[in-house]
């Protein structure tokens, strides 16, 4: 794996649970601050924070990938 052009954001759960024990995000070094904020929001959702809590904490997020993400999700859930 080429790690020279990436940083890593890693979450490791400290307690016993049936949920994800570790989540690792590979982040491009040229990521903007706004893109990093979006990544943090996604991490918060991935580790189980409620959408309302995340929205109250981070505020409105201008995610340019939102339309694409919704289309991908619809493809995944399609019967």
Dig out the tokens for 66 from the structure: 């939102």
Phi and psi, residue 12, nearest 5°: -125, 125
CB 22 within 8 Å of CB 10: yes
Tens-binned pLDDT, residue by residue, of the chain (79 aa): 555 788 888 888 888 887 778 888 888 889 888 888 888 888 888 888 898 999 899 987 776 766 677 777 777 777 6
- Give pLDDT, residue 57: 92
Q: How is the chain split into domains, by residue range? A: 6-77
Host H or E run for residue 70? helix 66-77
pLDDT the model gives residue 79: 63
Q: Are 9 and 43 in contact (CB under 8 A)?
A: yes
């Amino acid at each position: 794996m080429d790690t020279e052009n990436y940083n890593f954001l890693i979450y490791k759960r400290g307690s016993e649970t049936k949920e994800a024990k570790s989540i690792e995000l590979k982040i491009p070094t040229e990521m903007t601050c706004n893109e990093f904020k979006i990544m943090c929001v996604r991490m918060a959702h991935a580790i189980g924070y409620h959408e309302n809590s995340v929205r109250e904490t981070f505020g409105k997020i201008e995610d340019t990938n939102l339309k694409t993400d919704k289309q991908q999700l619809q493809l995944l859930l399609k019967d």
